Structure 1
Amino acid sequence: MKLAALHLLGLLAVSTSSLAQFSIKGRIIDQENSGVTFANVLLLSPADSSLVKGAVTDDKGYYTLANVKQGQYMIQSYLIGYAKSYSDVFSLRDNKQLAMRDIVLSEDSEQLEEVVVKAQKPLYEVELGKMVINVSSSITSSGQSAIDVLEKSPGVTVNRQDNTFALGGKNGVIVLMNGKRSRMPLEAVYQLLSSLNAGDIEKIEIMTVPPAKYDADGDAGFINIVMKSGGNTGTNGTVMLNAGYATGPRLGSSINLSHQREKIGVYGSYSFGYRGRQVLWDNYRENETDLESTKASTEAVRDGKRPSHNYTAGMDYSIGTNTILGLLVSGYDNRLDRQANTDSEFNYSVSEDTLINLDVGEKDNWSHIMGNVNLQHTFNKGQVLTANLDYLVYDNYNRQEYANQYYEGDGTPLNLEENRLTKETPINLWVGKLDYSMDINKKIKAELGVKGTFSALVNDVVFEEKVNGDWQIGSAFTSYADLTEDVYAAYGSLNVELSSKTNMSAGLRYEHTMTYLSTVDESGLVDRNYGNYFPSFFLSHKLNEHNTLQFSYGRRITRPSFNQMAPWVIFHDPYTYFSGNASIYPTMTNSVKAEYSRKSVLFSVQYSHDDNVIMRFQPTLDPATNVMVLTSDNIDTRKTVASNLSFPIALSMWWEMQNNISANWQMIETQLSDQKMKRSQFGFQANTTQIFMLPADFTVELSGFYVSPIINGYFNWLSRGFVNLGVQKDFGSAGTLRFSCNDIFETGQYRWRTTEDATFNFTGRYKYEKRIFLASYTYQFGNNKVQKRKRSVGSSEEMRRVDN
C-alpha cells in the first residue's frame, strides 16, 4: 500500500511538471546587430520538425513564446530576403522563463527576384502610455492636411474657428513633430499643420499622461505627428502630388529624400501647398442694460488664399564608433491674403437702429527658421548622453484694413470710417538640453536630464484712423509690449521590469518659470516667479498573451500663451473684437488613467482635475458702450471623466471596419457676473471607418464622424459631424492613386451658444469649407529599407506659447 501511494505521488509530480507553462524570450538580429522587424519565429520539435508555436518579432527584433510545455525544442527564424536560421536544441525543465541567445539572419544571396509583401497596419494600436493612429492606412486622409487627419482622430477635437485643439474634451494640447516641439505660436502651429500633407504622415501618437522627460506644459497631453522617413544604406525618396476643390482650389506637392552611407547620412524634405477657400461666419446676440435692450446680427463672408512652403534639411555624421554629430535646419513660410465683407444689423429698443457694412483686407504672414546642433555619445552598452542646442526665430506680420459704412435702419447712408491695424511680432528663443540614460541592469533603466529655455517676444500693435483724409494713430488700440520668459527644468525617471509581465516607470520633474511682461504704460504688468514639481507614474501588467492592463498618473501645467497675455486686438465688427488678457493665470492639472487592451480592442478611462482653466475667446460685454470683447479667461475648476473604446471588426475577407467611441463628463465651477456658476455636461464622440478590399488592387474607404455638444466656459460648442468617402488604386511599383470626397453632406460647420447662466445671449456658426474633392498620387523610389536616424532636438517641447 505504501509503495502504491509513493508510485501515485510520483505520477502526479510528473503529470504536474509536464503541465507547467514556460516562457521563451529572445531577439532576431541581422549581420549588423540590428533588430529584424516582423521576422517569423517558429518553435519546432527536434524529433520531426513539427510546429509547436509561432510568433513575429516587434519593431526592435524581440519575440516572446508564452505558455510552452516542458520538453526539448529548437527555434527557426526566417524573413523574405534572408536565409533561414536555426537555434541549437534546448530543453525547458527547471526555469519558468528562458532567455535565448540572439539568432542572426543573413541576407539570402540566392534570391531570383524581388518579392513584394504588402501588409496593412491596423488604424489604431496601443503602446505603453499612448495610442497610435496609423495615418498611412487611411485612404480618405490622402491629399488632406494634418489638421484634417487630427479632426478624425479618437478623442481629438479641432476648433477651426479659434485655431485650437482639444483632447478628451480638454484644451491645453501640445503638438509634437517627430517628437520635436519648437516654441512656435499656436496660430503658426495651426498654419503649419494646415499646409502639411497627410500623405507625408506615418502615424499620430496620442499621450494624455506624458512621462517626466517631456515638458510639464499642456494639461490635456501631447499629440505627436510622426512623419514618413526612410534609412540603413543607400538612397530613397517619395514624391507626392495632390489636387482638389471645395470653395476654392487646393494644390499640394512634396518630396522627401534620404541618403545614408556608413558614416554619414543626409536627408531633406520640401512641400508646397496652396488653398483657396471661402469661410462663412454668422452670429447673433441679445443683451439688456439699464437704458435699453439690443439685438445684433452679423453675417460675414471671408475669401482667402494661402500659399505655404515647408522645408527640412539635416545631416548625421559618425565621428567615431560611439559618437554621432547631427545638424538640422527647418522652417516654413505661410502667407494668408484674405478679403472679408461683413453686414451687421443693430436693433435698439430706444435708440435708432443701425446697419453697418464692413470691408476688411487682411495679410497674415508667418515665417520661421530653426537651427539645431545635436551630439550623442554612447559610453558603453546602455549608457547614452545626448546634448542639444537650438536657436529659433519666428516672425509674424499682420495687417488689416477696415472700411466701416454706417446706415440708418431704413438704409440711409450715415458716415464712413476707415481704420487700419498693423501687428508685428518677432520671437527669438534659445534652448539647451542635456539628457543621460543608462541601463543599471537588465531590468532597470534610469533617465536624467536638464533643460533651459530663454524666450523673448515683442508685440507691436499700431491702430490708425483716417481723419479728414489723414491717417492718425488711435491710442485706444495702439500698444507695445515685450515679454521675456525663462524656464529651467530638471527630471529623473526609472523604468523597472518588475517581472516578465509587469513594467513600472516613475519620474519626477521640476520646472522653475520666470515671466516678465511690460508695456509702454506699465513696467512689470506681469511679473511671475514660481516653481513646481510634476510627478508621473506608469504601471503595465500583461495578464496573458492577448490582455494587458495599464495605469498612469501625472501632474501637469498649462502656461498662458504669449499673445493670451499680450495686448492686441482684431475686429469682427465695430462692436465685437478679440483681445489679450494680461491677468490670466496658468492651469494646474492632476490626471489618473486606466487602460485595458485585448488584442486590437482598446478601452481607457481617465479622470482629471484642473484649477484656473484657461478658456479661449470668452465673451464679455461692456453695457456702457455695447462692445463685446472675446478674450482668454480663467475658469476656477473643472473635473473631467473621459473614456475611449476602439475596436476593429473583420466582417469578411474583403470588408473590415474600425470603430472608435469616446465619452466624457465635465463639471465646471466658476464666478460669472459675481454669481457662482456650476454646470455639468455629458458628451461623446464617435467615428467609424469601413474598408472594402476589391479585386484589381482597388480599395474603398467610407468613414463617419460625430461629436456632441462640448462645454467651453461661458458658452457651448454644439454638435457636428461629417461623412467621407475614398477610393484607392495600387499600381505596385508604379505608385498609388487616391480619390476622395470629404464632408459629403456639408455638416462639419461649427456652432455655439452661450450658457443659460450668461447675462446675454450669444449664438453663431462658423462654416469653414464645403464638401472637398481631392485626388493624390504617391510614388516611392530607391532603396525602401533606408531609414534616417531618429532623434529629437532640444526645442522638441516648445510649442503653443504664442497664439493670434
Structure 2
Amino acid sequence: MDFKQLLKLLIITISLQLSAQENFDISGLITDIDNNGISFANVLLLRSNDSTLVKGTITDDDGSYKIENISNGNYIVMGSYVGFQKTYSKPFVLNNTYTVETLVLKEGNQLDEVLIKAEKPLYQQKVDRMVINVENSIVSAGGTALEVLERSPGININRQSNSISIVGKEGVVVMINDKISYMPTSGLVQMLEGMTADNIESIELITTPPANFDAEGNAGYINIVLKKRTDLGLNGSYSVALGYGKGITNNDNINFNYRKKSVNFYGSYGFSLDERAQQFKTSREFIDNGDVLASKTVTDREPQQRNHNLRLGLDINTSEKTIMGILVSAFDNRWSMDAVNNNINSENGNPTSFVILDNDEINYLKHIGLNYNIKHNFTEDKFLSFDIDYLNYEFDNPTNYRNSFFDENNTFSNSELLRSGKETPLKTWVSKLDYSNRINDNLKFEVGIKGVKNNFENDVSVDNFENNVWVPDPTLTNKSVLDESIYAGYGAVEYGIDEKTSIKVGLRYEHTDSKLDTDTQGTVVDRNYGIWFPSVFINRQINDTLSVNLAYSKRITRPTFNDLAPFVIFFDPNTFLSGNASLQPAISNAFKVDVNYKSYFLSFQYTNEDSSIANFQERIDEATGRLIFEAANLDYTRTFGVTLGLPIKVFDWWRTQNNFTFIKQKVRTFYDDEPIELSLGNFSANTTHSFKISEKFTAELSGFYNGPSFFGSAKYNEVYGLNIGFQQNFGEKWGTLKLSINDLLDSVKFTGGTDLPEQNIKTNNTFDFSNRTFAVTYSRNFGNNKLKSSRNRETGSEEERRRVN
C-alpha cells in the first residue's frame, strides 16, 4: 500500500464516520429551593462510568442550559454555584434529545475566594508513561533539563557520545509539548543542556508508544512539557538562578500568558550560562610484535555554554468549535571551549614521546521553527486536526589545534597547526492530519497521515598548516548532501470489552526514501523501504486499587543526522571522534507488563533489537593507526528490565519516592569479522525525600545510583550522585527562594572502556562533565490568578496543550 492509497483510505474512512455519526442535545434547569432559576451556575456533563468531564456550560438568566452535539453514551450532569452545595442528576443513557430533571441547589456556607492546588507527586506512573513533575522538585531549581533527565529513573545520558537511553535502550526521541524536535542528537543534548528546568512543568517517559506516535525511537519518547497558564487576563512567572561549581552557572526564565475572549497569546524566554570546568582522560593499549604500546591523554577543558531560548504562540478561536494556532520557537546556542591536552606515548612502560595539544572550539547552533495548527471539534469526542511545521537548523563547528611534540626526554622537537570545520544547514518540513472519534463510551477510532522532508548540506574539513599554507587532509575532508522523505499513515481502535477491561490496537506504516551523496565516494546511502509497525495495549482494572497493563510495540531507529553528516573532533593527533554514514536502521520489538497498586508500580520490559546503533564505539584504523570513536551497528541487543516504584510516607512531614531498576542485557557484535558476545546485569536506584519543616519551609534530598552498564561493546563503571535543596515560600506576593546543592559528593563521573584481548584492544576513559554546584533561585508569579480555583490543576492544561500542538 503506497502513500496515495493510504490518503484515499483515510478520506473515505473519515467521510463514512462523519456521515454515520448522530449527535444529540441535552437541556435542563437549575433552581434554588424556592424554585427560582439560578443564572450563571456551572453545568458539567460527566461520563457516568468514571466521572470524566465531557463538556461544560453556564446557565442563562432563567437558570436554563443547553449542551449541544453530544454523542450517544452514559452520562450524569453536575450543577454548582458559589455559596450552594453541588447537585448531581440521575445517570441517564443518551440516544436521543434529552431533558434532565430540574437540579435544585441548596445553600451552603458562603466561601471567600479559595485557591485550590493539587500537589502532584514527583513521580506518577500512568497507563502508558512515567510522569516526572519537575515543578515540584526543589533540587531541580536553577538546573537544566539535561540534569533533570540524568536524575530520572531508568535514564542514562552519555554526554561524550551525545546519547540518551531508557532502561538500557538507546534510540530515544525527544518531544517538547507533544511535538517532535527533529533535531540531530548532538544539537539535542546541547539544547537540553541550555534549557532551564524552571520553565518545565513535567517530563514524560513513554517507553511503548501507540500507533499515532512516529515509529522512530526504539527506546521510546521523552516528552518535555513546558509551563503554560490558561487564566484570564495577563499572568505568568519568572525565575532567576545563580550558581557556582568550578565556574559560574546562570539560569533565568520568564513565561507569560494573555487570554481575552477568543484570543490567547503566550510565550517564554530563557537564558542560561554555564562556565564549569571539565576533565577527560583517555588511554589505549595494544601489542605490536610483542611490545606493549600505550597512549594516555589528560584533557582540561574550560567551556562556556550560552543559550537564548524563545517561544511565542497565538491561539484564536475562530468559532465555537474551531481553534487556530501559530507557534514560533527559536534558540541561539553557543558552546565554546579552550582546552589543554597532555598526551604521553610509551613502549613497555617507558615514555617514547610527549605531545601537548592546545585547542579552541566553537559549536554554534541556531534554530527557528514555525508551526501552524488548526483543529475543529465536531463534538467534545470527535475532532480533526492539521499541522504544518518548518524547522531550520544551522550548525557551525570550527576548531583550531596547536600541537607541540617532545621526545622521550621531554625535549621539544617540533610543532604543527591543525584546524577542522563543520557547517551543516538542516531544513525540515512536516505536515500531518489526525482524526479522532469516540463513537461511544466503549469505542474510540483514530486515523492519520504524515509526511516529513529532510535536507542538509554537510561540509567537513580538516587542514594541516604546511609551508605557510593550509593543506586539506583528503582522508578527513568531506562534502555531503542528504535528501530524505518519510511518509506515514496509521489507524488505531480503542475498545472497552467490559467495565474493567479495555484494549487498544494500532497499525502504522512508514515509507522511507533516503539518499546521501558525497564528493569523495559518490552515493554512500540509497535506501528505499517501507515497514509496518503494529502496537497492542491491554488494560485490566482488577479493582479500585489494582490494575494491569500489557503492551507490545514495534519500533525503528534511523541513523541520526549527526552520523549521516560526519564530523571530526580530535582528542590527540591519533585519537578522534567521527560520524558514520554507513549506519543501517535498527528494528526492535518491545513487550511490557505494568502492575499498578495504589501509588506503587512494577514494570517488566523485554526488547529484542536487531542492528542496534551503539554510539561512541572504538575502532582502530589499521592504515593510520588512529583510534576512532564512532557510532556502529551491533548484530543485536537483547534487553530485559524490571522497574519498581515505591512511594513511602514515613511521617506526615516526611515523604519518599523510591525507584529501582534491574536490567539484564546481552550484546552481540563483530570486530574484524570476529563475533563478540557480552552479557551484563545492571542495577540502578533513584530516591527522593521531601521534608515539610513548616508551612512555608521545605527541603528535599535526592540521590541516584547506576551500576556498571554497556555502551555498545564498551563497559562503563557505576555512577552515583547526591543532591539537596531547601525552599522558603514567602507567599504569593513575594515569591519563593530556593537553595540547592547538586552533585554534593562530586561523584558523577563516567569511567570505562573496552577490553577485548583477542582483538588486541584495551581502552580506558574518564569523562567528568559535572562537579559540585551551589545554586540560589528566586521565582515569583505575576498577573491575574483569580480564576485558579475554577480549574483542576491536575489535568486542566492537557487540552490546551493539545489545542496548540
Q: What TM-score bracket applies, with the shorter chain setting the length?
A: 0.7 to 0.9
> What is the distance in 1 between the residues matched to 2:108 and 2:363?
58
Which residue in the other structure is 2:736 paired with?
Answer: 736
**Secondary structure at 2:634's aligned position in 1?**
strand
**Would you say 1:705 and 2:715 are equivalent positions?**
no
Deviations 1:168-195 (A, max 9, x none): 0111011111111121121221121111
CA–CA distance in structure 1, aligned partners of residues 108 and 311 of structure 2: 37
Could you report, residue by residue, the CA deviation over 1:321-368 in whole angstroms, capped at 9, with x for unpaired residues?
A: 222111111110000111000000011359981100000011110000
CA displacement at 1:240 relative to structure 2: 0.9
| Secondary structure of 1:790's aligned partner | helix
> Aligned partner of 1:782: which letter?
G
Q: Is the 8 A contact 1:82 1:106 kept in 2?
A: no
State how far apart, in whole Å, the 1-side matches of 2:91 and 2:203 are. Answer: 43
**1:407-418 aligned within 5 A:** 407-418=406-417
Counterpart of 1:390 in structure 2 is: 389
Q: How far 1:35 sits from its partner (Å)? A: 7.5
CA contact (8 A) 1:239 1:779 kept: yes
The aligned residue for residue 128 of structure 2 is: 129
CA RMSD between the two structures: 3.0
Alignment map for 1:69-80 (pairs within 5 Å)? none
1:515 — aligned with what? 514
Contact 2:500 2:540 in 1 (8 A): yes
Note closer, same or farther for the CA distance 1:692–1:535 as it changes in structure 2 (3 Å cut): same
Decide whether the 8 Å contact of 1:164 with 1:171 is kept in 2: yes
Q: 1:57 to 1:200 in 2, by over 3 A?
A: farther
Corresponding position of 2:776: 775
Whole-angstrom distance in 2 between the partners of 1:506 and 1:31: 41
SS in 2 for 1:564: helix
Q: What is the alpha-carbon distance in structure 2 between the residues aligned to residue 540 and residue 114 of structure 1?
A: 40
In the alignment, the residues of structure 2 paired with residue 341 and residue 418 of structure 1 have an alpha-carbon distance, to the nearest angstrom, of 14
Does the CA contact (< 8 Å) of 2:614 and 2:631 recur in 1? yes
Residue 478 of structure 2 corresponds to residue 468 of structure 1: no
Q: 2:705·2:721 contact (CA, 8 Å) conserved in 1?
A: yes
Report the alpha carbon displacement of residue 573 of structure 1 after superposing the two structures with TM. 0.7
**Residue equivalent to 2:555:** 556
Aligned to 2:355: 356
1:344 alignment partner, SS class = strand
Would the aligned equivalents of 1:613 and 1:634 in 2 still touch at CA under 8 Å? yes
Partner of 1:762: 763
Cα separation, 2, equivalents of 1:225 and 1:698: 28
Deviation string for 1:551-594 (max 9, x for gaps)?
A: 00000000001221333211111000111212210100001100
Contact 2:233-2:784 within 8 A present in 1 as well: yes
Letter in 1 for 2:142: G
Report the Cα offset of residue 422 of structure 1: 1.4
How many corresponding residue pairs?
Answer: 733
State yes or no: 1:160 paired with 2:170: no
Tell me: CA distance 1:416–1:494, structure 2 relative to 1, closer, same or farther (3 Å).
same
The aligned residue for residue 633 of structure 2 is 634
Which structure has more RCO (C-alpha within 8 Å, separation ≥ 6)?
Answer: 1
Task: Sort the Cα spacing of 1:501 and 1:239 in 2 relative to 1 into closer, same or farther, 3 A.
Answer: same
8 Å Cα contact 2:418/2:464 also seen in 1: yes
Determine whether 1:644 maps to 2:643: yes
- Amino acid corresponding to residue 159 of structure 2 in structure 1: R
The range that moved more, 654-663 or 231-240, is 231-240
Gap runs ≥5 in structure 2: 1-29, 31-39, 57-75, 789-795
Alpha-carbon contact 1:31-1:104 (below 8 Å) kept: no
Q: CA deviation at 1:76?
A: 8.7
C-alpha contact 1:149 1:198 (8 A) present in aligned 2: yes
How far apart are 1:100 and its partner, in Å?
13
Matched residue, 2:14: none
Q: TM-score, normalised by structure 1?
A: 0.86
Tell me how far apart the structure 1 counterparts of residues 365 and 46 of structure 2 sit (CA, whole Å).
Answer: 43
Contact 2:616 2:711 survives alignment (8 Å): no
Write out per-residue CA displacement over residues 111-168 of structure 1, whole angstroms, 9 at most, x where no aligned residue: 6643345542112112221111111221111111111111111111122222221100
Which whole-Å deviations, capped at 9, do the CAs of 1:663-695 have from their partners, x for residues lacking one?
A: 110111222233222221110110111111112
d(CA) in 2 for partners of 1:281 and 1:391?
A: 38
Say which is worse superposed, 784-793 or 519-528, in terms of deviation: 784-793
User: How far 1:91 moved relative to its partner?
Assistant: 10
Distance change in 2, residues 1:106/1:512 (3 Å): farther
Give the Å deviation of 1:234: 2.3
Matched, 1:225 2:235: no
Correspondence 1:294 to 2:293: yes
8 Å Cα contact 2:375-2:803 kept in structure 1? no
1:254-274 CA deviation, whole Å, 9 max, x = no partner?
A: 111111122111111111111
Q: Say yes or no: does 1:595 pair with 2:579.
A: no
Q: What is the distance in 2 between the residues matched to 1:768 and 1:319?
A: 49
**Which residue of 2 is the match for residue 371 of structure 1?**
370
In the alignment, is residue 565 of structure 1 matched against residue 564 of structure 2? yes
Mapped contact 2:41–2:79 kept (Cα < 8 A): no
How many Å separate the matches in 1 of 2:105 and 2:300? 64
Q: Does the Cα contact within 8 Å between 1:84 and 1:105 map onto a contact in 2?
A: no
The equivalent of 1:209 in structure 2 is 208
Q: Distance in 1 between matches of 2:523 and 2:483?
A: 11
Q: Report if aligned partners of 1:714, 1:755 keep a CA contact under 8 Å in 2.
A: no
User: Is structure 2 residue 319 aligned with structure 1 residue 320?
Assistant: yes
| Superposition pairs of residues 393-432 of structure 1, within 5 angstroms | 393-432=392-431
Q: Provide the rounded CA distance (Å) in 1 between the counterparts of 2:605 and 2:190.
A: 30
Checking the alignment, whether the CA contact within 8 Å between 1:146 and 1:196 is kept in structure 2 is yes
Alignment match, 1:86: 87
Q: Is the 8 A contact 2:44 2:77 kept in 1?
A: no
2:336 is aligned to 337
Correspondence for 1:718: 717
Distance 1:694 1:583, change over 3 A: same
Q: Report the Cα distance in structure 1 between the residues aligned to 2:399 and 2:522, rounded to whole angstroms.
A: 28
Q: 1:769: how far off? A: 2.2
Q: 1:55-134 counterparts in 2 under 5 A?
A: 83-87=84-88, 113-134=112-133
Residue 238 to residue 294, structure 1, CA distance change in 2 (3 Å): same
Deviation at 1:77, TM superposition (A): 8.1
Name the structure 2 match of 1:45: none
**Residue equivalent to 1:655:** 654
Question: Following the alignment from structure 1 to structure 2, what is the Cα–Cα distance between the partners of residues 100 and 553?
Answer: 44
- Shift in CA distance, 383/57, structure 1 to aligned 2, threshold 3 Å: closer
Task: Tell me which amino acid in the other structure corresponds to 1:737.
Answer: L
User: Which amino acid in the other structure matches residue 135 of structure 1?
Assistant: V
Partner of 1:71: none
Distance 1:362 1:139 in 2: 34
1:651 aligned counterpart, secondary structure:
strand
Distance 1:227 1:393 in 2: 21
CA deviations over 1:235-258 (Å, ceiling 9, x no partner): 210111111011111112111111
- Structure 1 contact 289–623 (Cα < 8 Å) conserved: no
Report the secondary structure of 2:181's partner residue.
coil
- For residues 399 and 651 of structure 1, what CA distance do their matches in structure 2 show? 54
- Specify the alignment match of 1:678 in structure 2: 677
Report the Cα distance in structure 2 between the residues aligned to 1:517 and 1:171, rounded to whole angstroms: 24
- The more displaced of 144-153 and 689-698 is 689-698
After TM superposition, the structure 1 stretch with the greater mean CA deviation from structure 2, 663-672 or 206-215, is: 663-672
Alignment correspondent of 2:529: 530
What is the CA deviation profile of residues 390-445 of structure 1, one whole-angstrom value per residue up to 9, with x for unaligned ones? 11100011110000101001111111110111110000111111111112233211
Shift of 1:783: 3.0
| Shift in alpha-carbon separation, 1:676–1:314, aligned structure 2, 3 A | same
Does 465-474 or 449-458 show the bigger shift? Answer: 465-474
Partners of 1:230 and 1:204 in 2: CA distance = 17
For the residues of structure 1 that align with 2:110 and 2:328, how far apart are their CA atoms? 41
| Partner residue, 1:306 | 305
Q: Which amino acid aligns with 2:236?
A: G
